Structure formats: structure tokens, C-alpha cells
Amino acid sequence: MEIFNVMTKDEKSSGKSDIDRKTIKAIAGKAKKMRKEMKVGYEEFALEAGINRNSYYRFERAAKTGENFTIGLLIKVIKGLNVPVSEFFKTIK
């Protein structure tokens, strides 16, 4: 059990550790890859999934930035990908 959480200056300012950023990037990257495999543009996907186009764009951008997104948005994305949540997370580490 870790008693002290030592964070870098960047982690303190963002509130996210490198592990958190890595996971966020992996989740957004996987969703983006799956959407592209469906041969659907991001705007069309967002519309079909009931997601604001700009919100979805920021979600996919998180694959590079590690920017946070809400669980509600993530659930809409996964439903839009038509995959069970447990299946989506199988390869996320």
C-alpha cells in the first residue's frame, strides 16, 4: 500500500498521473480505431450515437492529449460502437 503519492509538477497541475493519461489515451485511441474500422466519419458516428459532434471530436483527441472525458460520454461511445462494455475493455491496460 502506497502511503505517499509523489507526483511531478505536471501531474499536480493536471490532477492526473502518467498512468491515468496512458489509460485515457488507450481508451480514446481504441474507440477511434474501432470507429475507423466501421468506415464511418467522426461526425456521422457522433450523430448516430447521439453525441454532440464537438464533444466526440474532443473525446477522440484525448487519444493524443490524455484529456479527461465523462463516463456518460464513454458509455455513449461504446454503445455507438455496438460492443459490450466488458468486450471493449478487454485489451485496455
Residue 22's H or E segment, with its range, is: helix 18-37
- Is position 2 within any domain? no
- Is position 4 within any domain? no
- Is position 8 within any domain? no
pTM of the model: 0.78
What does the longest C-alpha to C-alpha distance in the chain come to? 47
pLDDT digits (tens, 9 = 90+) for 11-58: 455 555 777 899 999 999 999 999 999 999 999 999 999 999 999 999
pLDDT digits (tens, 9 = 90+) for 61-76: 999 999 999 999 999 9
- Is position 87 within any domain? yes
φ, ψ for residue 89, nearest 5 deg: -85, 0
The domain tally of the chain equals 1
CATH number assigned to the domain comprising residue 82: 1.10.260.40
